[in-house]
A and B are shown apart, each in its own frame.
Chain A
Amino acid sequence: MIPKIKNSKKRGTILMENVVFIILNLLFIMILVIFISKQGQGAILLEESYAKQIALLIDSAKPEMTIILNMENAKELSGKNEVSFSEVVRVDKENNLVIVKLSSDGGYSYGFFNDVDVSVYPDTKGLQNSGDADSYVIKINSYNDN
């Protein structure tokens, strides 16, 4: 005797509802994850973090030291914001300030107390002279003459 199959259509509907429910939940979780990861990669946050890092590096450095700092994230963001990578980091020698700029209308500065003559420039020689640098060279030349 062949058994009767009851409500086969309804079972399919229930399964479809579950699938839609799971997809919507996954979508919700994905949106949250993207939101959180985007928050940590904003220009303002990166500018602050790089400016403070570089200022602390200069403070703890001594003459004739050369520091190479990987700034891959900064390069990516400055490219998106149409800021040339060579203009991302600047040192104001008059006021002892490190200035990091990752967007055309932004910029963050942080002071250092080490009285040194410092040069900062993109590390173009680091990648076999390819000119496509994603690091910055921080060179401590000498102590300033007072």
Chain B
Amino acid sequence: MIIKNKKGGDKVLSLYWIIILILIAGGVFGMVYTFYKHPYDVREIENGILINKFSDCISYGGKINQNLLSGDNFNQTFEDFVSEECNLDFGSGEEYYVEANFYSENNLNLEVYSLSYGNSGLVASCNIQEDKEYGLESKCSDGEFFSLSESGNLYLVKVNSIIKKTEQNSK
């Protein structure tokens, strides 16, 4: 014969309550651990700063840098001294990549000049950025603006920036 009394009911209730508390504590611990185990990913902000800095270097006040474009001729050697001209120091050069592509207003699909600096091997990682497995590999951003040459011709400039720094920004 099963004897039921109030004391037994209380004990079952406390055990039930302890299990609930353990579950809540476990859940909170799990959430906190998951939240803090990932580093802060600042590459998007960094990309924005890099794009602004590079854009200011190749075009300022709406006019393309005269060291890059004199008349309507692009200076092919500008790429060799981008770091000095734009005050960029990519260190070992493996973590960053930035490029600017110029299009004439007459044909916005035809690239008339391209300028790049950094590790061009990172370009491929942008194509797989959407893939969840490789999405954290590197961050890619882009921007575009119009700028005038000295002779008054209008150019569309598309700037792309890629930052790797995977270890420090994603795990």
Interface residues of A (CB under 8 A from B): 28, 32, 35-36, 39-40, 45, 48-49, 52, 56, 59-60, 95-96, 110-111, 113-116, 143-144, 146
Do residues B95 and A111 form an inter-chain contact, with CB atoms below 8 A? yes
Looking at chain B's contact residues, the main secondary structure is helix
Query: A-B pairs with CB below 8 Å: how many?
Result: 57
Q: Is the CB of A49 within 8 A of B49?
A: no
Give Cα A114 to B95, complex, Å: 14
Are A45's CB and B36's CB within 8 A? Answer: yes
Determine the chain B residues whose CB is within 8 A of the CB of A115 once the complex forms: 83, 87-89
- Rank and list the top 4 A-B pairs by shortest CB-CB distance, nearest first: A115-B89, A115-B87, A146-B84, A143-B87
Contact A52 B87 (CB under 8 A): no
In the bound complex, how far is the Cα of B8 from the Cα of A10, in angstroms? 17
CA gap between A26 and B39 in the complex, in Å: 32
CB distance from A15 to the nearest CB of B (A): 14
In the complex, what distance in Å separates the CA atom of A22 from the CA atom of B24? 16
Contact check, B28 vs A35: say whether CB atoms are below 8 A apart. Answer: yes
| Size band of the interface chain B makes with A | 20 to 34
Residues of chain A contacted by B42 (CB below 8 angstroms): 52, 56
Question: Per a CB cutoff under 8 Å, which of B32, B83, B91, B165 touches A39?
Answer: B32
Instruction: Select the residue from B45, B53, B89 with max chain A CB neighbours within 10 A.
Output: B89
The 0/1 profile, CB within 8 Å of A marked 1, for residues 27-57 of chain B is 0110010001001101001100110110000
Residues on B with C-beta less than 8 A from A52 are 40, 42
**Contact residues in B for A32 (Cβ distance below 8 Å):** 24-25, 28
Cross-chain contact A59 with B28 (CB below 8 angstroms): no
> Given A32-B28, A45-B36, do A116 and B87 touch, yes or no (CB 8 Å)?
yes
Please report B residues at the A interface, Cβ cutoff 8 Å: 21, 24-25, 28-29, 32, 36, 39-40, 42, 45-46, 49-50, 52-53, 83-84, 87-91, 95-96, 165, 168
Task: Identify 10 new A-B residue pairs, CB closer than 8 A, beyond the known A39-B36, A56-B46, A96-B91.
Answer: A28-B21, A36-B32, A39-B32, A52-B42, A111-B91, A113-B89, A113-B90, A113-B91, A114-B53, A143-B87
User: 11 A-B Cβ contacts within 8 A?
Assistant: A36-B32, A49-B40, A56-B42, A56-B45, A110-B168, A113-B88, A113-B91, A114-B87, A115-B83, A115-B87, A146-B83
Task: Indicate if the CB atoms of B46 and A59 lie closer than 8 Å.
Answer: yes
- A40 (CB) vs chain B CBs: closest residue: B36
The interface residues of chain B lying within 8 Å CB-to-CB of A143 are 87
Q: Are A96 and B45 within 8 A (Cβ)?
A: no
Nearest chain-B residue to A61 (Cβ)? Answer: B49
B50 contacts across to A, CB distance below 8 A? 59, 113
Q: Which residue of A lies closest to B31 (CB)?
A: A36
Please give the distance in Å from A142's CB to the nearest CB on chain B: 10
B residues in contact with A56, CB < 8 Å: 42, 45-46, 49
A36 near B40 with CB under 8 A, answer: no
* Complex partner residue of A114 from B24, B32, B88, CB under 8 angstroms: B88
